[in-house]
Chains A and B, each alone.
Chain A
Amino acid sequence: MIWINYNVYAALAITTWLVGLLLMYRGKSAGTKNTGLVFIVVGQLIITFFLVQLWLLLDRPPMRTLGETRLWYSFFLPAVGLVTYFRWRYRWFLAYSLILSALFLVLNAIYPENYSKTLMPALQSPWFVPHVVVYIFAYALLAASSIVAVRGLFSSYRRKDEVTRQSLSLADNLVYIGFAFLTLGLLFGALWAKEAWGHYWTWDPKETWAFITWIIYLLYLHFRFRQKLTAKQLFWTLLIAFLVLLICWFGVNYLPSAANSIHTYTR
């Protein structure tokens, strides 16, 4: 049995993020604020280091179980937050992505996993890593878009038009890139399924929900194209879409329709 001290890494990462955010928000000088940013990057590196170590120790990509995908989520969310910060300087967005990521780190600490080394033959494929990484990255981006949607809703109910406009524009950027990755993840999955199970699409419950998730974001893109919907309606669409995404990721296992799913690797 492999025991890496996960809790220590998670605690370290969360602490550096807290310190970093504190410095960024409370710091008076530019130097202090930059130090805060350095702390956040260090936290990100801690997560990265943990993932690399886990991969090496397990001797397989750590992407099989729900808990393992949560780890990747905790890795990608701050990454999206940092890139957005460097690109557009949204400090609040960086803060929210770190908080969400920390939440997932804590979830994994509450429900620890026995990191099993075994990997069933169906998952031993060159498609495994790109399929999961692309998907979790898409999920992280779309989660980010839902954070933006919540902020946008607050500002639109308070009639702060400038913030609403900015939020909608940021949400759009995130959804477009997130949707591109979602599409790639879905198509990689189809190509892999053909190699592994003989058909590219079998309407397995996980596939069905992945399709529903994809099509709901597709609806959002078309709503945007028409540009007749109000900002509020668009933000609500994003929140509903993210809810569907969560059903696809976690919820499917609990639905009656999933009784015969081939996508349950949690045990």
Chain B
Amino acid sequence: MSQKQNKKPVWIHPWGYVESFSVAFGLISVGFAMEFSTQGRGVPDFTNATLNVTAVVLVFLILTGGLFFRKVPLIQWLSGVPAAISAIAGISFMALLMGLTLQQQNPDAFWVSRLGLSRITSSWPYLIATFYLLVVLGMATIKRIYPWKPGNIGYLLNHLGLWIVIFAATFGASQIQRLEMTLQEGRLEYRALDRKYNVWIDMPFAIRLHDFVLEQYPPKLGIIDNKTGRIIHENGKNLMLVDTAATGTMLDWYIRVLTYFDQSGKAGEHYYFNNEPGAAPSVKVQAINEKFSDTITGWISCGSFNRPYEALKISDQYSLIMLFPEPKRFLSEIEILTTETETVPVSLEVNSPFSFQGWKIYQVSYDDELGRWSDTSVIELVRDPWLPAVYSGIFMMMAGAVTLFWRGNKTLTTS
């Protein structure tokens, strides 16, 4: 109601929601127009120099604007709530587009590729919406830093933290290097592939794979339809983890494990323990169907790269099969060698990367087909010079989140 009383013509300061949303809408439209007119090639890869200059200019503009020209109506509007809400709405809109369209390399639809909808994060409208948010968020933050009040600490942690995260993530994005290195047991490797540009990079150190280790869970048993060959799933039911003397019920059958080998070979009709390369798990089971008072006993194996699989037919319609065991953990015993003839032994595992000379080294994958006999290990080397900045922003936001509890405990007054 108060809005109606102070009704003022549009585009006369102070700007409110109408002007703010018009600006956000206009900026994003310009972005899409740029995208369209550049044939949907998106934002080009700027050089580091260009990016650094842009970053400095942006910070300079926000600082001078926010500190020395804060009485100017434009700056007052940029640091106000309507501009903030329009900037948040703008970035939400871009995120919604991203959440609804499949992000992929080569889209089929003309409009999707022409407007950059399948790679939003490298499109002009996304970049412009991010810049608008950075300016608005930056101006608002400065207003609360100077003049300083102790009560603003929560505000500062949340806003400056977020600003730092977005700023560092945006300007740091192109400097991130993600390289893939394929290691063979016993061999020394110093070259890594940059998949983004498809170029090979010589690393300042070499890596030797001593041993690749894969631990697996016991295999699962399942029932397949003989005609279609598909597993009868029923929302993840009808799968049974094998264990010595395990029992379970699948469809109408009561299944009992009689013998279980985690590695085995076959001789005649029977399996026996064997640990040669490719020795697959096997299990002797008894399947009892009480409805038809039917009991079937037999061996099942999932096979391996050099062993055939074996299913057990339990009726005209169904067979009992073994699924390939799922990996429990895998790790590479590696050694990093630098030119100074220093060697660093590392046990590289998923979820625990190793930091070395500014690089983070990750265990990624292995030869799927060979599984636990794989002598290949794929690792990734990642360098992100802006990461410390992003992390400092993240930690500020975490501290800021904690301050929100106080706010939550305080009852707000309502108008």
Q: Give the shortest distance, in Å, between A261 (CB) and chain B (any CB).
A: 10
Cα separation A208 to B238 with both chains bound (whole Å):
33
A184 touches B351 (CB 8 A): no
**Is B289 close to A, CB under 8 A?**
no
**Is A215 close to B, CB under 8 A?**
yes
A267 touches B91 (CB 8 A): no
**Is B53 close to A, CB under 8 A?**
no
Q: Give the shortest distance, in Å, between B103 (CB) and chain A (any CB).
A: 7
Q: Give the shortest distance, in Å, between A245 (CB) and chain B (any CB).
A: 13
Cα separation A21 to B391 with both chains bound (whole Å):
47
A121 contact set on B, CB distance < 8 A:
327-330, 349-351
A165 contact set on B, CB distance < 8 A:
414
A267 contact set on B, CB distance < 8 A:
236
A125 touches B401 (CB 8 A): no
Q: Which of B43-51, B65-73, B81-89, B262-270 forms contacts with chain A?
A: B81-89
B104 contact set on A, CB distance < 8 A:
260
**Is A122 close to B, CB under 8 A?**
yes
Task: Tell me whether A199 and B176 are in contact in the complex, defined as CB-CB below 8 angstroms, given that A112-B235, A191-B394, A215-B92 are known contacts.
Answer: yes
> A266 touches which one: B236, B246, B384 (CB < 8 A)?
B236
Cα separation A191 to B397 with both chains bound (whole Å):
13
Interface size classification for chain B: 35 or more
**Is A98 close to B, CB under 8 A?**
no
**In the complex, per-residue mask of A221-235: 1 if CB is within 8 Å of any chain B CB, else 0:** 011111110010000
Task: Tell me whether A190 and B394 are in contact in the complex, defined as CB-CB below 8 angstroms, given that A111-B235, A116-B239, A201-B169 are known contacts.
Answer: yes
A172 contact set on B, CB distance < 8 A:
408, 411-412
**In the complex, per-residue mask of A250-267: 1 if CB is within 8 Å of any chain B CB, else 0:** 000001110110000011
A198 touches B350 (CB 8 A): no
Interface size classification for chain A: 35 or more
B380 touches A198 (CB 8 A): yes
B85 touches A223 (CB 8 A): yes
**Is A22 close to B, CB under 8 A?**
no
A212 touches B236 (CB 8 A): no
**Is A187 close to B, CB under 8 A?**
yes
Task: Tell me whether A173 and B408 are in contact in the complex, defined as CB-CB below 8 angstroms, given that A121-B327, A203-B103, A257-B102 are known contacts.
Answer: yes
Could you tell me which residues of chain A, from 102 to 155, have a CB within 8 Å of some CB in chain B? 111-114, 116-122, 124-125
Cα separation A140 to B349 with both chains bound (whole Å):
34
> A212 touches which one: B92, B246, B382, B401 (CB < 8 A)?
B92
> B411 touches which one: A119, A169, A218 (CB < 8 A)?
A169
B241 touches A259 (CB 8 A): no
Q: Which of A12-20, A45-53, A71-79, A174-182 forms contacts with chain B?
A: A174-182
**In the complex, per-residue mask of B254-289: 1 if CB is within 8 Å of any chain A CB, else 0:** 000000000000000000000000000000000000
**In the complex, per-residue mask of B87-124: 1 if CB is within 8 Å of any chain A CB, else 0:** 01101100110111111100000000000000011000
Q: Give the shortest distance, in Å, between B368 (CB) and chain A (any CB).
A: 14
Task: Tell me whether A257 and B100 are in contact in the complex, defined as CB-CB below 8 angstroms, given that A121-B327, A187-B398 are known contacts.
Answer: yes
**Is B360 close to A, CB under 8 A?**
yes
**Is B2 close to A, CB under 8 A?**
yes
Closest residue of chain A to B234 (Cβ to Cβ) is A114
Closest residue of chain B to A178 (Cβ to Cβ) is B408
B102 touches A173 (CB 8 A): no
Could you tell me which residues of chain B, from 379 to 408, have a CB within 8 Å of some CB in chain A? 380, 382, 384, 387, 390, 394, 397-398, 400-402, 404-405, 407-408
Closest residue of chain A to B407 (Cβ to Cβ) is A176
Cα separation A52 to B307 with both chains bound (whole Å):
41
Cα separation A173 to B85 with both chains bound (whole Å):
21
Cα separation A194 to B384 with both chains bound (whole Å):
11
B236 touches A222 (CB 8 A): no
Q: Give the shortest distance, in Å, between A21 (CB) and chain B (any CB).
A: 26
**Is B37 close to A, CB under 8 A?**
no
A175 contact set on B, CB distance < 8 A:
408
Q: Give the shortest distance, in Å, between B171 (CB) and chain A (any CB).
A: 14
A120 contact set on B, CB distance < 8 A:
326-327
Cα separation A29 to B129 with both chains bound (whole Å):
60
Task: Tell me whether A215 and B241 are in contact in the complex, defined as CB-CB below 8 angstroms, given that A177-B405, A184-B401, A198-B362 are known contacts.
Answer: no
Add 9 more A-B contacts to A169-B411, A194-B387, A199-B384 (CB < 8 A): A1-B241, A113-B237, A165-B414, A174-B408, A175-B408, A180-B408, A183-B400, A219-B92, A267-B236
Give me 20 A-to-B residue pairs in the complex whose CB atoms sit less than 8 angstroms apart, sorted by A's number: A1-B249, A65-B236, A112-B235, A113-B236, A114-B238, A114-B239, A118-B220, A118-B326, A120-B327, A122-B351, A168-B414, A173-B411, A177-B404, A180-B405, A187-B397, A187-B401, A198-B353, A203-B120, A223-B85, A231-B414
Closest 10 CB pairs of A and B: A176-B408, A180-B404, A177-B408, A1-B248, A121-B350, A183-B401, A125-B351, A180-B401, A208-B99, A198-B382
